[in-house]
Amino acid sequence: MQRRSFLQSALVGGALAALDTSASAAAANGKRPYKLLPCEEAFTIPEILEAARKHARNIPSWASGPIVGPALPLLMDLGEGRLRGMDAAGIDMQILSLGSPGVQNFDVPTAVSLGKLANDRLAAAIKAHPTRFAGLATFAPQDPAAAVKELERCANELKLTGALVNSHTNGEYLDDPKYWPILEALEALNLPLYIHPRDAAPGVAGAAVPGFTVGWGFAVETGTHALRLIGAGIFDRFPKLTIVLGHMGEGIPYFLERIDNRWDFENALFPTSAKLKRKPGEYFRNNFLITTSGMNVAAPLAAAIATVGIDRILFAVDYPFENQPKSVADFDAIALSVEDKRKICETNVRRTFRL
């Protein structure tokens, strides 16, 4: 796979998927005794596409390619077209975020100004459709001080109630102390941070096996980021910081008991290892929420519920990269009580993002 053509093609695929409004999903619309508030739903703005094209030679990810295809209108539509798709799928409200990798591939001035612009557009869309849209703030980790200012503006002025980062920035993760002011601000502002995947950092890029770039490599990248935060003691330092992981927790719930077991094994013996107040699993269960984006599948959901509990799981689709009505139908088909479905699709989402 040529990396520069990845999103270009992904967008085409996303369009095909998103435009399939299956009858079965539409038929279920209105029958649920709870609302559907998916929380990993993407948008973008023309200025970011333009900048991605301009910076093509310096940017090593999908953003370097000429981004075309029928999904572009879906990503850029923050109005009637998107609402019609939501209606057809039975989606009550999308919690929106700027499509990966956001502004994290741009030079600092471009990233800071485009991040602000994206947040302004997002706030305008929410203002125009306050019952249909909510949103997560974008920021440029490249300039931590500017990121803190922008997060403050998003929380206090734009009234956004969460933030999203697309995993690494220039190969660095948020456990690096230079990013701690961002984490401190997120905690102080009560903004949950959604860590969304992106193309893998150089240290784990080998997991992006062709054909498995998304299905495996994204989880390696994002799960590694999450474990770095835990291992660095971030949640001892910022105990009220909340992290949201998509894709059913990026694999971590499946391994959580083994992770704790081997953590003890490694740490009982290494005087150089991090000293944490609790086991990794306790931070994961206390400071993390996970979403069903791209994983509205019974078996991993059951394992996740058994591992982190029903109150820590949020519904998500990953529009327009996943088929929106199919994701809803898949979730509908999972054998789970209405009360538990209400928690995942509505109550937990409202509580997490203060909606």
Number of residues that bind a copy of itself (CB under 8 A): 67
Q: Answer yes or no whether residue 180 interacts with a copy of itself by CB under 8 A.
A: no
Q: Which helix (H) or strand (E) holds 110?
A: helix 108-128
Strand-pair partners of 153: none
81, 257, 277, 338: residue in contact with a copy of itself (rule CB under 8 A):
257
Q: Answer yes or no whether residue 68 interacts with a copy of itself by CB under 8 A.
A: no
Q: Answer yes or no whether residue 280 interacts with a copy of itself by CB under 8 A.
A: yes
Q: Which residues in 3-62 contact a copy of itself (CB under 8 A)?
A: 5, 9-10, 12-13, 16-17
**Min. distance of Cβ 116 from a copy of itself in angstroms?**
31
Nearer to a copy of itself, 109 or 171 (CB): 171
318 tagged catalytic: yes
Give me the long-range contacts of 236-240 (CB less than 8 A, separation at least 24). 236/276, 236/277, 237/180, 237/183, 238/183, 238/184, 238/186, 238/187, 239/287, 240/187, 240/190
Whether residue 34 contacts residue 346, with contact meaning beta carbons closer than 8 Å, is answered with yes
Q: Answer yes or no whether residue 333 interacts with a copy of itself by CB under 8 A.
A: no
Nearer to a copy of itself, 72 or 78 (CB): 72
**Min. distance of Cβ 232 from a copy of itself in angstroms?**
9
Of the candidates 20, 77, 87, 318, the residue annotated as catalytic is 318
Q: Answer yes or no whether residue 205 interacts with a copy of itself by CB under 8 A.
A: yes
Whether residue 27 contacts residue 87, with contact meaning beta carbons closer than 8 Å, is answered with no
26, 188, 214, 310: residue in contact with a copy of itself (rule CB under 8 A):
214
Rounded CA-CA distance 165/157 in Å is: 20
Give me the long-range contacts of 86-89 (CB less than 8 A, separation at least 24). 86/132, 86/324, 87/29, 88/21, 88/25, 88/26, 88/29, 88/324, 88/325, 89/21, 89/25, 89/26, 89/29, 89/317, 89/324, 89/325, 89/327, 89/328
57, 131, 177, 269: residue in contact with a copy of itself (rule CB under 8 A):
269
Mark the segment that binds a copy of itself (CB under 8 A) among 26-34, 157-165, 180-188, 213-221: 213-221
Q: Which stretches of 157-297 are DSSP H helices? A: 180-189, 218-231, 234-237, 252-267, 280-287
For residue 287, CA distances in Å to 127, 230, 329 come to 30, 10, 30
**Min. distance of Cβ 230 from a copy of itself in angstroms?**
8
Q: Which residues in 99-158 contact a copy of itself (CB under 8 A)?
A: none
Chain residues binding a copy of itself by CB under 8 A are 1-2, 5, 9-10, 12-13, 16-17, 201-207, 209-216, 219-220, 223-224, 227-228, 231, 247-248, 251-255, 257-263, 265-270, 272-274, 280, 294-295, 297-300, 302-303, 306-307, 321-322
Q: Catalytic amino acids?
A: 318
